[in-house]
């Protein structure tokens, strides 16, 4: 009928999972996240229109090496500070510790290279 135009059914019976968004909990959301959400939703709708048995997934991305890096930097230098005591949003606060770790690692790596004559 009229409502089936453009819906070929080529994916009928196929199970497909689309994972999108899943922002890094260490960093503030930005326009790029919205872009990924729009793309993920668009692809999902196209697949569903083709008959796919679709599952959309957003992973709660709150564990992994990025969290460990932030925690280590905070434990080394945080001195009990909190988002409230610093007057910043919690995602910005955690993001700052991630950046702090990255800078410290870069400095340490460069120092080791200098000392070893690399």
Q: Per-residue pLDDT tens for 56-114? A: 999 887 788 888 999 999 999 999 999 999 999 988 898 899 999 999 999 999 999 99
Q: Which of 57, 74, 89 is the last residue of a domain?
A: 57
Range of the domain at 72: 65-115
* pTM, to two decimals: 0.62
| Cross-strand bridge partners of residue 54 | 16
- Nearest CA among 111, 86, 106 for reference residue 96: 86
Residues 51 and 89 in one domain: no
Residues 12 and 41 in one domain: yes
Dist CA 20 CA 57 (whole Å): 7
Dist CA 21 CA 80 (whole Å): 32
Q: Which of 18, 39, 57 is the last residue of a domain?
A: 57
Residues 15 and 52 in one domain: yes
Q: Which of 31, 57, 83 is the last residue of a domain?
A: 57
- Determine contact, residues 104/73, Cβ cutoff 8 Å: yes
Q: How many domains are contained in the chain?
A: 2
- Determine contact, residues 100/73, Cβ cutoff 8 Å: yes
Dist CA 114 CA 43 (whole Å): 49
């Amino acid at each position: 009928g009229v409502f089936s135009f453009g819906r070929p059914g080529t994916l009928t019976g196929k199970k497909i999972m689309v994972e999108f968004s899943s922002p890094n909990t260490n960093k503030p959301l930005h326009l790029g996240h919205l872009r990924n959400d729009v793309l993920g939703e668009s692809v999902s709708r196209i697949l569903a229109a083709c008959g796919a048995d679709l599952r959309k997934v957003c992973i709660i991305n709150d564990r992994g090496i990025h969290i460990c890096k932030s925690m280590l930097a905070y434990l080394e230098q945080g001195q009990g500070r909190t988002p409230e005591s610093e007057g910043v949003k919690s995602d910005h606060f955690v993001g700052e510790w991630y950046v702090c770790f990255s800078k410290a690692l870069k400095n340490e790596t460069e120092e080791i290279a200098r000392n070893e004559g690399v």
